[in-house]
Structure 1
Amino acid sequence: MNIYQHYRPEEHAFIDKVNGWKLAVAEQYTVRLTDFLNPREQFILQQVIGNHPDVSLSFWGGSSYSERKRALIHPPFVPAENEDFSITCFEVNYPAKFVKLEHKDILGALMNLGVKREKYGDIVISGETIQLSAASEIAGYLRLSFEKAGRASVTLNELEPGMFLGAREEYTEKNGTVSSLRLDAVMSEMYSISRSKASALIAGGKVKVNWRQVENTSFELEGGDYVSVRGYGRSKLFSIDGQTKKDKQRIRYGILK
């Protein structure tokens, strides 16, 4: 059976990478630590590894509620401890009385340091508290280089284990019907907007599916997909639950609170 038929073409390169990791662990009894993975990548990793008798899979992102996590692919006889994931968590110090920082300010500043996104985990903002997780191999560079975000000067304080908040996802679950599983049609249902408005957002580069920008209105969604729309928030298509008598698709989805 061709494993690729279950995934989109743009995901095939990641599947090849996962198969390489699996083979190395199974044949050489070695351990593979990945960069931070988004939930879709974690799902694919779990599906491809499956119930392989010689390969175990563990995840950690710094907190029990982490969204972005590193994966440890290891032989079953090798235990996985939190410290094996090489994650360092920080709290961001900034003049909170005088300036407000948003997620985009922190992420933008981090990306300007020239380190790829996969080396960063969650960015968590709770009131005036801002925390982030990162791969330990870049922790020293971050301490020295992360000095400004938005209009604020910033410094980093390393957190003790167990102090990282993590990004806890909670969705408001809903049911609906759509004429098709096209991105514009599903967005119209999820966000209570017209299909023409959905199409404009897609064409304007403001929509991501599974953390990848999509500009094709006819892109077809599948159960488990995440949809993020700038200015409207994130949603998840939990399942596709069959057709109505009028040939519409029943869907179950959630809007991130």
Structure 2
Amino acid sequence: MNTEIHKHFHPDEHSFVDKARDWIERAVDQHRLRRTDFLDPRQAFILTTLLNRNPDAQLRLDGGYPGAERRRALIAPDYMRLDDEDMGIRVLAVTSGDAKIAELDHSDYMGALLALGMKRDKIGDIHAGPTGCHYLVEEEAADYLHLNLTHVGKVAVHTEVLPPDRLIATESKLQELQLSVASMRLDGIVSDVFRLSRAKAIVPIQAGRCRVNWKPEANPSAQLKAGDIVSMQGFGRFKVLDVEGVTKSGRMRVKVGKYV
């Protein structure tokens, strides 16, 4: 059975597939509600796909606000009511009296939590703004972070734990780039966005450090399309916004938004 299911997913995803199947089976067999950590969109897709194979189970996904990218899941037998269940999400509000807080970005705030030993799956979306940041975090981690997060970079900060309805959401900032590329190959666009040689772009892709739409992608020649989101560990991520046409020389004009 595992082999049959695994063939539909990338080998790097098999461990999560097995974990998700176990969540579903335990929820149904033990008549219990299961609440997961935060899932990225690909993990949520895998969990939904597996759950749709089991008519005795149901699922609710919620990231603390409409449109959340990272969401927690509730898995339960089909007869349970999930609408009123607490998703266990809190807002960790970060502020500072230091004007330099305006210079901090998403990566600074993420790095501050990881430096405290916090795992990525305990953290939901991060909303960084000019006066501070609102993290979505698991309630189980909120008090620990409230007590221990005292600095982001070199900026001293204050924290407060709030309910999700106090979230101040911010739009992701994209630095738009206009590219002229020979093709929509992954390695070519990655090299242009991150200003790497083609040879240096291929190395992290083949090493398994690249994801396209949150799915592992180790093929440098994979073809991208408008709407694709590409992330590369250690470099950042970008979105292919539009393929605007072909130049007279036969090259493709591509608009890309780099997350900053």
What is the TM-score of this pair, normalised by structure 1? 0.75
Q: CA deviation at 1:44?
A: 0.9
Give the 3-state SS of the residue equivalent to 1:6 in structure 2.
coil
Q: CA deviation at 1:140?
A: 1.3
Give the 3-state SS of the residue equivalent to 1:19 in structure 2.
helix
**Counterpart of 1:183?**
186
**Counterpart of 2:49?**
47
Aligned letter for 1:132? Y
What is the TM-score of this pair, normalised by structure 2? 0.74
Does residue 42 of structure 2 align to residue 14 of structure 1?
no
- Given that 1:65 and 1:166 are in contact with CA atoms closer than 8 Å, whether structure 2 keeps it comes out as no
C-alpha distance in structure 2 between counterparts of 1:232 and 1:86, whole Å: 29
Q: CA deviation at 1:127?
A: 3.2
- Given that 1:59 and 1:70 are in contact with CA atoms closer than 8 Å, whether structure 2 keeps it comes out as yes
List gaps (5 residues or longer) in structure 2.
Answer: 243-253
**Counterpart of 2:160?**
157
Going from structure 1 to structure 2, the CA distance change for 1:6 and 1:80 (only over 3 Å counts) comes to: same
C-alpha distance in structure 1 between counterparts of 2:172 and 2:147, whole Å: 31
Q: 1:125 aligns with which of 128, 139, 142?
A: 128
Q: CA deviation at 1:147?
A: 0.5
Going from structure 1 to structure 2, the CA distance change for 1:177 and 1:96 (only over 3 Å counts) comes to: same
**Counterpart of 1:37?**
39
Give the 3-state SS of the residue equivalent to 1:35 in structure 2.
coil
Q: CA deviation at 1:208?
A: 2.7
Aligned letter for 1:50? N
Q: Percent identity at matched positions? A: 31
Give the 3-state SS of the residue equivalent to 1:84 in structure 2.
coil
- Given that 2:204 and 2:210 are in contact with CA atoms closer than 8 Å, whether structure 1 keeps it comes out as no
**Counterpart of 1:234?**
238
**Counterpart of 1:75?**
77
Map 1:168-179 onto structure 2 (within 5 A): none
List gaps (5 residues or longer) in structure 1.
Answer: 239-251
**Counterpart of 2:247?**
none
Please list the CA deviations of residues 16-36 of structure 1 after superposition, one character each: whole Å capped at 9, or x if unmatched.
011111111122211111111
Please list the CA deviations of residues 50-106 of structure 1 after superposition, one character each: whole Å capped at 9, or x if unmatched.
153211111111111211111111122222246521111121012352342111111
Q: 2:141 aligns with which of 138, 156, 159?
A: 138
Going from structure 1 to structure 2, the CA distance change for 1:218 and 1:179 (only over 3 Å counts) comes to: same
Going from structure 1 to structure 2, the CA distance change for 1:179 and 1:106 (only over 3 Å counts) comes to: closer
C-alpha distance in structure 2 between counterparts of 1:15 and 1:93, whole Å: 39
- Given that 1:18 and 1:45 are in contact with CA atoms closer than 8 Å, whether structure 2 keeps it comes out as yes
- Given that 1:63 and 1:165 are in contact with CA atoms closer than 8 Å, whether structure 2 keeps it comes out as no
Does residue 114 of structure 2 align to residue 108 of structure 1?
no
Root mean square deviation, CA, Å: 3.8
Give the 3-state SS of the residue equivalent to 1:98 in structure 2.
helix
Q: CA deviation at 1:169?
A: 6.5
- Given that 1:187 and 1:193 are in contact with CA atoms closer than 8 Å, whether structure 2 keeps it comes out as yes
Q: CA deviation at 1:15?
A: 0.3
Q: 1:87 aligns with which of 74, 86, 89?
A: 89
Going from structure 1 to structure 2, the CA distance change for 1:153 and 1:82 (only over 3 Å counts) comes to: farther
- Given that 1:55 and 1:75 are in contact with CA atoms closer than 8 Å, whether structure 2 keeps it comes out as yes
C-alpha distance in structure 1 between counterparts of 2:72 and 2:134, whole Å: 17
**Counterpart of 2:249?**
none
C-alpha distance in structure 2 between counterparts of 1:29 and 1:225, whole Å: 39
Going from structure 1 to structure 2, the CA distance change for 1:40 and 1:21 (only over 3 Å counts) comes to: same
- Given that 1:122 and 1:133 are in contact with CA atoms closer than 8 Å, whether structure 2 keeps it comes out as yes
Q: 1:59 aligns with which of 40, 58, 61?
A: 61
**Counterpart of 2:250?**
none
